[in-house]
Amino acid sequence: MKKILVIGIGAGNPDYLTVQAINALNEVDVFFVIDKGKQKEDLGRLRKEICRRFIKDQDYRLFEVPDPERDRSPASYATEIAAWREKRVALYRSMISEELKDGECGAFLIWGDPSLYDGTLGILQQILAQGTVEFEYEVIPGITSVQALAARHKISLNRTGESIHITPARKLADGLPAACDNVVVMLDAGTAFNSLADDDLDIYWGAYLGTDDEILASGKVREVGKKIADLRSARKTEKGWIMDTYLLRRGLATE
Ligand SMILES: C[S@@+](CC[C@H](N)C(=O)[O-])C[C@H]1O[C@@H](n2cnc3c(N)ncnc32)[C@H](O)[C@@H]1O
């Protein structure tokens, strides 16, 4: 039987790797690396550095393929995502059937944790449901960008008894969810926090968390929102890409 490990590698700092993840890395015969283009070269480098640093016998194979093309501003988001996912399913299926021998262990190194805005587990489940290739798989959890954000700001994500909502920025077009005082925003291609009507919002923002380029900022959105937007735009231009996450928190009369 073939085995696949889906290993969370933490969101940025190689020191985020857990002992379980390091042990898992040392079991792997073939690493499947999805090349996400020039902008993400830095992330690819970090994955390779993790393999160099934590694997004792450097006799594993690396199988690198380009990520299937995807239209970033499609007429229908849902249709485009479904089509892109099908291409990924076909790609992953052929990698597992052709590049991994029976009895070998393959792995996907997942940025942060596989449970948070990552399609790998869904793709593997879809391949298994098709029944054309057999394998078993395991999931090794990692430190998410959300945990890194909270740790670096030295905050908890909620105040006593409150709920936490995690959302991609595109779902904030109609404002923050009414019933939730703590909203973690991910996958923001811009600065959605500056378009929200709420007047009393705190923001805890982090970009390139865990890396040497990390930037942190916090305060009332109405006071620091413009500064964060300028910083974000400048760093994105210099580096060619940016990845940021933030917590928005409604103020309370009493805590
Ligand atoms: C496709 S999601 C993957 C999330 C990942 N699985 C995790 O556990 O954090 C990518 C988004 O995660 C956030 N992100 C990931 N790594 C980050 C980092 N080092 N600093 C800031 N945000 C990060 C950003 O919001 C980015 O748009």
Give the model's pLDDT for residue 166.
97
Q: Which residue, by CA, sits nearest to atom 11 of ligand 1? A: 187
Using CA atoms, how far apart are residues 118 and 111, in angstroms rounded to an integer?
8
Cross-strand pairs, 197: none
Q: What is the pLDDT of residue 39?
A: 59
Looking at residue 46, what is its pLDDT? 86
Ligand 1: does its nearest atom lie under 6 Å from the Cβ of 182? Answer: no
Q: Is the CB of 204 under 6 A from ligand 1?
A: no
Do 96 and 137 contact (CB within 8 A), yes or no?
A: no
- pTM of structure: 0.92
The span from the CA of 57 to the CA of 25, in Å, is: 10
Ligand 1 site, residue 207, Cβ cutoff 6 A: yes
Token pair listed for 30: 């073939």
- CA separation for the pair 55, 5 (Å, rounded): 15
Rounded distance from Cα 102 to ligand 1 centre (Å): 34
28: tokens are 């792997």
* Residue 139 confidence (pLDDT): 98
Q: What is the pLDDT of residue 158?
A: 95
Classify 123 as helix, strand or coil: helix
**CB of 133 closer than 6 A to ligand 1?**
no
**How confident is the prediction along the chain (255 residues), in pLDDT tens digits per residue?**
999 999 999 998 999 999 999 999 999 999 998 877 655 677 888 888 899 999 999 899 998 888 777 777 777 778 888 888 899 999 999 999 999 999 999 999 999 999 999 999 999 999 999 999 999 999 999 999 999 999 999 999 999 999 999 999 999 988 999 889 999 999 999 999 999 988 899 999 999 999 999 999 999 999 999 999 999 999 999 999 999 999 999 987 544
Nearest CA, atom 5, ligand 1: 112
The reply to whether ligand 1 has any atom less than 6 angstroms from the CB of 117 is yes
Asked whether 205 lines ligand 1 (CB < 6 A), one says no
Q: Is 116 in the pocket of ligand 1 (CB under 6 A)?
A: yes
Question: What is the whole-number distance in angstroms between the Cα of residue 122 and the centre of ligand 1?
Answer: 18
> What is the CA(132)–ligand 1 centre distance, in A?
32
Query: Using the 8-state DSSP alphabet, how is residue 194 labeled?
Result: G
Q: Is 16 in the pocket of ligand 1 (CB under 6 A)?
A: no
Is the sign of the CA dihedral 157, 120, 5, 68 positive or negative? negative
From ligand 1's centre to the CA of 42, what distance in Å?
14
Task: Give the mutation target among 145, 167, 191, 211 for probing the ligand 1 site: most ligand atoms within 8 A of CB.
Answer: 145
